[in-house]
Amino acid sequence: MTVPAVTPLDLAAIRADFPLLAQEVNGHPLAYLDSAATSQKPQQVIDAEVEFLTHTNAAVHRGAHTLAAESTDAFEDAREAVAAFVGAGEGELVWTSGATAGINLVAYAIGNATLGRGGEAARRFALRPDDEIVVTESEHHANLIPWQELAARTGARLRHIPVLDDGRLDMDAAAELIGDRTRIVAFPHVSNVLGIINPIDDLMALARSADAITVMDACQSVPHLSIGLPATGVDFAVFSGHKMLGPYGIGGLYGKRELLNALPPFLTGGSMITTVTLDEAQYLPSPQRFEAGTQPVSQAVGLAAAARYLQELGMDAVHAHEVELERRMRDGLREIPGIRLLGDTDAAPRVGLAAFAVDGVHAHDVGQFLDSRGVAVRVGHHCAQPLHRRFGLTASVRASASVYTTPDEVDRFLDATGGVRAFFGAS
Amino acid sequence: MTVPAVTPLDLAAIRADFPLLAQEVNGHPLAYLDSAATSQKPQQVIDAEVEFLTHTNAAVHRGAHTLAAESTDAFEDAREAVAAFVGAGEGELVWTSGATAGINLVAYAIGNATLGRGGEAARRFALRPDDEIVVTESEHHANLIPWQELAARTGARLRHIPVLDDGRLDMDAAAELIGDRTRIVAFPHVSNVLGIINPIDDLMALARSADAITVMDACQSVPHLSIGLPATGVDFAVFSGHKMLGPYGIGGLYGKRELLNALPPFLTGGSMITTVTLDEAQYLPSPQRFEAGTQPVSQAVGLAAAARYLQELGMDAVHAHEVELERRMRDGLREIPGIRLLGDTDAAPRVGLAAFAVDGVHAHDVGQFLDSRGVAVRVGHHCAQPLHRRFGLTASVRASASVYTTPDEVDRFLDATGGVRAFFGAS
Amino acid sequence: MSLESLYQELILDHSKRPHGFGLAEADDHTGTSYQRNPICGDEVTLRVRVSEDGQTIRDVTWEGQGCSISQASASMLVDLIDGVPREKAAELIDGFREALRSRGTIELDEDVYEDAAALSGVSKFSARVKCAMLAWVALEEGLAQTS
Amino acid sequence: MSLESLYQELILDHSKRPHGFGLAEADDHTGTSYQRNPICGDEVTLRVRVSEDGQTIRDVTWEGQGCSISQASASMLVDLIDGVPREKAAELIDGFREALRSRGTIELDEDVYEDAAALSGVSKFSARVKCAMLAWVALEEGLAQTS
Ligand SMILES: Cc1ncc(COP(=O)(O)O)c(C=O)c1O
Ligand SMILES: Cc1ncc(COP(=O)(O)O)c(C=O)c1O
């Protein structure tokens, strides 16, 4: 993969923005390599939220008083900032509580259309028995179980694109699978276990030729790549704030405006309606239609600060930095005897993470050992049991980088990993 | 209503904890009387969240490393603290993103049971056409539209308990309505417009005799009353963090454990499963079953701090304080010519809020006028259109108190309200 | 921003004695739009009648209830728009919207907007912009039906 | 907490050469339970056989895969529980759970818990408590089937 020439990140300056990273763990400086699970938050994000809560805070879209108006402006300005970050236009960015909620929103709204909700406009979403929903074998559970459940509720069939031995999607199989019966194609932009950036143009071409609705899980790409969601052509995409230096409890659902306005609501309640009688309600257009109840207002403000922070670093620089760390991790891991990397291919572009198994030592024990050296990694199935099963594993170890990760931290991780098998007496 | 003898609140000390309240608005000290929409947050809550984010933050229930373990402990300790605040036992408190999400959870899970999800255990929840769901005419849209939609999806019928002229529920009508066909009874503990504490024991007795599932909207009671949810007998109850001095983006769903474990999941994704294959998933028991995806971890920590803050004040003292303010508001408003109070009765216990219409001046204009005097109130239908229609209005003005509200603020509100009709030349 | 700059005499006058209140009969040359502010429930039903050739606005009538800003805005719109060419009306609507959304940076020209120029101050009260826009959005939709 | 206090020699030994590994045949006097740690996918299938009168545990066998803590814990449980009266087993399970959940405040007594006492240190690693509990929960469930 060619990396564009960019100004490299100023790591010392960046690290000074992340108070948590300065601490010691078990007598060692913390090396936080679990950013794919959740990222740390820069002071700028924390400050933005605290500033809002201590000076502005009031209910949005609901009051005429000064604080309410200021809060509404802050909330909608935040939407604009985050929308701009992913290239979304007006009415195309819906706040959700996170990526999981975003995918459930789309799946349930399609389910509601199938049950006749949303009238004429929503008919295009209705599923019939034997319609097919296609996912991949590399899915995070968040982009798998909602579709299993939708299939179970509607009689649609769930199918999956297999993963090759080297971790890439089997695109030949995809071409066979996606066809006349395919109504929905859901896929991850980047796998949270393999770190491989999937060939979404090819997937989109297949989905388009089948006239299928496309849903992209952009959880692991939005924080790490320069990405314009409309340019990808996907109908819907989701991401989470807490993985992109932002707060918990907030995320984004991008959707083509025309589709969002045709989709029936999912959650219902206050602030998403025009007229309500005791018997029925009329719904506002997107994004309000999907934002029932009090929204995560301070979190939106915090997420906007995170988007601005990333934008100022420059997403090309962020990507270049993380790709370099990934290279260093994978090269180092290949040198250590008894390590089996998942998706160890150079035939696909990647983000900054590596997952692996250690021969004769369970992932949990590896993680505990690394932790004793101050190195924080994730162990387990990373919410991707089918993918682990594909590789004959129940668990793996994953190290993942973010903007604040240093080459030195990677080296300490490699060094510690090199000592694992000796400690546990694995032969 | 008899108010127990309690140590009165130390208002000066409390106000020092709320940095936002110290500001000026339009040249006047702020009088924030919009707490029923969203409350302000004490420094203790903000600090708890910032402390977590700058020292502990990591993904919970997912890693073996030190920060992950500490975060998991903080998250589950927070659950225990909030559960204790409402009297919930183990497995009985589910985190949600707020009350709206909580009601939707119950409604959709029942919808899923109706579609055959959740197997044998969930059968008891399945609705049949002509089954009835009973709500009240005083419902917030959050406890109305989800039931309308559930009814529309399942063929069940939605019925409602009317409101009397004085704002109380028509319990005679309720006794007629609730019967053999009733499967669900949903009601607000306290109306967010009338401030009346509903006779939930009587409602529960009716629901129990019909063997109906009960869902209580406790949004406006949990922040203001000493309440033990299990003692009320309700099957499910919801509340929101941001209305009880806590963060946005978090709330609680209380449910009887046995019911929660029988209910099919709602949102699906990571961290709520045991085994996932490409075709199906097995679900964890409550609360994890309902907590798909990354949870609002720092917000849980913040909400626990809010619960502790309230607990230290003592909920009886909080209630006594707010009732006194309500008395002052309502007495004062009665003196002002051209004011029409909603639910102006002494025949029911109340919390600290008052809603009213001003003869000849639209609520929006009243709110704007009060704002120019630094007084922040809410104007509109307060997400209760049917109730406003019941009283022949489209909008009203609502002033609402919290722990930090002072008698002086109430007086300034009354004083300003007294000047409204003259300013707008209403005769 | 002072309250008086928002509620100018002119605005209160229009809101109390609104022009064009009471819907005229609908016919082949009229378009009608119902608009509602979801926040407060304010509503306007507005009917616009165009000339036989569709190029000129003949008259505008409306009914509704709401705050003084929304009522005054509808009344002022009636004065301004009666007898104006269709294209000009579209321009006026666009300019009005732009000024109202400008957060106080664009003033409406009194020579162009007549009484409605008094609504410039609303743009500094972002929560009230929807109130002032209600009738103008209704006019836009109503006109679209008469093409 | 040092790593060595968690991974004592004894624990690593048990995990490498686990006792009772390999499920015995099921019959009328056995109960079998499958337990899984949802976080990491570790699993244990454990079978307990009781005496004819149901009052005494005859033997415990198991299969599974997982981290050294979960494997060692199952192995140590086998040693401890074989031949123990049913009631005593229940007590042991309760005591074990209490100590493991104590966040390091309760030490398991070596005279009572034998090798399994070495698992006391796990209670300071809250993320690992589930690993150590897996076999014990399986035993509890298995026993319940044999009453
Ligand atoms: C009575 C009542 N129910 C439900 C809600 C909805 O709560 P939320 O918007 O926090 O989901 C509110 C607040 O708006 C309320 O006052
Ligand atoms: C690829 C992928 N999809 C979805 C999710 C779910 O995101 P969240 O837990 O924030 O809802 C994650 C993160 O856990 C992920 O890595």
The reply to whether B383 belongs to the active site is: yes
By the 8 A CB rule, do B364 and A64 touch? Answer: yes
With tokens 């066909």, the residue in question is B181
Average pLDDT, integer, range B124-130: 95
pLDDT at A2: 52
For residue A99, which atom of ligand 2 is closest to its CA? 11
Catalytic residue among B205, B267, B292, B383: B383
Beta carbons within 10 angstroms of residue D21's beta carbon: 14
Contact between chains at A277 and B389 (C-beta distance less than 8 A): yes
CB spacing of B68 vs D127 below 8 angstroms? yes
8 A C-beta contact, residue B369 and residue A58:
no
Taking a C-beta distance cutoff of 8 angstroms, is the pair D36, D66 a contact?
Answer: no
Return the number of other C-beta atoms located less than 10 Å from residue C65's C-beta.
Answer: 13
Q: Which residues of A touch B32 (CB under 8 A)?
A: 58, 67
C-alpha B368/C-alpha B260 separation (Å) is 45
State yes or no: pLDDT of B48 exceeds 70. yes
What are the respective helix, strand and coil percentages of chain A, to the nearest 5? 45, 20, 40
What are the two backbone dihedrals, phi and then psi, of residue A409, each rounded to the nearest 5 degrees?
-65, -40
Q: Confirm or reject contact between D11 and chain A (CB < 8 A).
A: no
> In the structure, what pLDDT confidence band is assigned to residue B4 with cuts at 50, 70 and 90?
low
Mean pLDDT score of chain B, rounded to an integer?
95
pLDDT for B271: 86
Report how far apart, in Å, the C-alpha atoms of C52 and of each of B257, C20, C28, C56 are.
71, 21, 9, 8
> Where would I find the beta strands (DSSP E) of D4-84?
30-36, 43-50, 57-65
CA neighbours closer than 13 Å in the CB half-sphere of residue B163: 29
B368 near C CB under 8 A: yes
Q: How far apart are CA C77 and CA C61, in angstroms?
A: 10
C82: domain CATH number? 3.90.1010.10
- Return the partners of chain D (3 or more C-beta pairs < 8 Å): A, B
Give yes or no for residue B293 having a pLDDT over 50: yes
Question: How far does Cα B81 stand from its chain's mean position?
Answer: 18
Q: How far apart are the first and last CA of chain D?
A: 41
pLDDT (0 to 100) of residue B263: 97
Cis status of the peptide bond prior to A8, with omega within 30 of 0: no
Look at C126 and A72 and tell me if their CB atoms are within 8 Å: yes
Taking the centre of ligand 1 as the mean of its atom positions, its distance from the CA of residue D47, in whole angstroms, is: 50
pLDDT value at residue C37: 84
Identify which of B405, B369, B374 has the alpha carbon closest to the alpha carbon of residue B25. B374
Instruction: Inform me whether the pLDDT recorded for D118 exceeds 70.
Output: yes
Tally of domains within chain D: 1
Q: Do B369 and C3 touch (CB under 8 A)?
A: yes
pLDDT of residue A24: 94
Q: How confident is the model at residue C1 (pLDDT cuts 50, 70, 90)?
A: low
CA distance B112 to chain A (A): 8
What residues flank ligand 2, with Cβ below 6 Å? A 98-100, 140, 142-143, 188, 192, 217, 219-220, 240, 383; B 270, 293-294
Residue pair B255/B235 in contact (Cβ under 8 Å)? The answer is: yes
Cβ–Cβ gap A62/C39 under 8 Å: yes
Distance B383 CA to ligand 1 centre (A): 8
For the residues B364-371, what does the mean pLDDT come to?
A: 95
Kindly give the confidence (pLDDT) of every residue in chain A, 427 residues in length, as a single tens digit, with 9 standing for 90 and above.
455 567 889 999 999 999 999 999 999 999 999 999 999 999 999 999 999 999 999 999 876 799 999 999 999 999 999 999 999 999 999 999 999 999 999 999 999 999 999 999 999 999 999 999 999 999 999 999 999 999 999 999 999 999 999 999 999 999 999 999 999 999 999 999 999 999 999 999 999 999 999 999 999 999 999 999 999 999 999 999 999 999 999 999 999 999 999 999 999 999 888 888 888 888 999 999 999 999 999 999 999 999 999 999 999 999 999 999 999 999 999 999 999 999 999 999 999 999 999 999 999 999 999 999 999 999 999 999 999 999 999 999 999 999 999 999 999 999 999 999 999 988 7
pLDDT (0 to 100) of residue B1: 47
Ligand 1 geometric centre to CA of B243 (Å): 8
Using the predicted structure, report yes or no on whether residue C44 has a pLDDT greater than 60.
Answer: yes
Ligand 1 atom with the shortest distance to the CA of B188: 1
The pairing of beta strand B182-188 with beta strand B157-161: unpaired
State the average pLDDT over residues B220-241.
97
CA of B404 to the centre of ligand 2 (A): 39
Question: Are residues B45 and B404 in contact, defined by beta-carbon separation less than 8 angstroms?
Answer: no
pLDDT digits (tens, 9 = 90+) for B400-411: 999 999 999 999
Note the pLDDT tens digit of each residue in B164-196: 999 999 999 999 999 999 999 999 999 999 999
pTM reported for the whole predicted model: 0.95
Contact A96, A102 (CB under 8 A): yes
Q: Which helix (H) or strand (E) holds A25?
A: strand A24-25
pLDDT tens digits, one per residue of B259-275: 999 999 999 999 888 88
Cβ-contact B52, B308 below 8 angstroms: no
Which residues on adjacent β-strands are paired with residue A236? A215, A255
Domain that holds residue D72: 3-145
